[in-house]
Amino acid sequence: MARILLFALDELRRRHGATATPGLDPRHDVAPFRAFRAALLAEAARAATGPAELRMWWEGSFDAYALAVSCEPAGALAGLDPSGACVLDEERVAPPRPDGYPLARVEPGRAEVARDEGGGTYEAPFGAPTGHFGAPGMRRMG
């Protein structure tokens, strides 16, 4: 089982939007995501009591998206308080989604961005609201 943290897209934008790169299309700018990730991983490294894997995906619909982050095993990050990275919208304990994107590998005192089999990382541009169907996405970074 995994501890699954849900961060509302609107709150992510509010909290980290100031880190956006001036002049860059906000649908492709990953600076706000990187600021969020750095803050979350710093707290995860501090709180970890054992090795854990973090994965992420988007949940929701056109009016309420959330970035889901699974922490597996749940017990290794039971003490994680993610509020330094972003206010937590919701939390649950459940099986992680098998199609989640790799986010990080964590152990006590250490966290590193996870890579896929080809060496790529994944980032989630928060973008700007782009209308009724402005769904956020994931980008593979080579």
pLDDT in tens, 74-125: 999 999 999 999 999 999 999 999 999 999 999 999 999 999 999 999 999 8
Q: Tell me whether residue 61 is in a domain.
A: yes
Note down the domain range covering 14.
Answer: 2-116
Evaluate whether residue 125 is within a structural domain: no
Q: pLDDT averaged over the chain? A: 92
Mean pLDDT for 43-47 is 98
Q: Is residue 56 part of a domain?
A: yes
Does the global pTM surpass 0.85? yes
137 found inside a domain? no
Residues forming a β-bridge with 141: 121
How many structural domains is the chain composed of?
1
Taking 60 as the threshold, does the pLDDT of residue 130 lie above it? no
Q: What is the pLDDT of residue 63?
A: 72
pLDDT value, residue 132: 46
Is 77 contained in some domain?
yes
Cα(142)–Cα(139) distance, integer angstroms? 9
The torsion angles phi and psi of 28, rounded to 5 degrees, stand at -120, -10
The pLDDT value recorded for residue 131 is: 46
Q: What is the Cα Rg of the chain in Å? A: 14
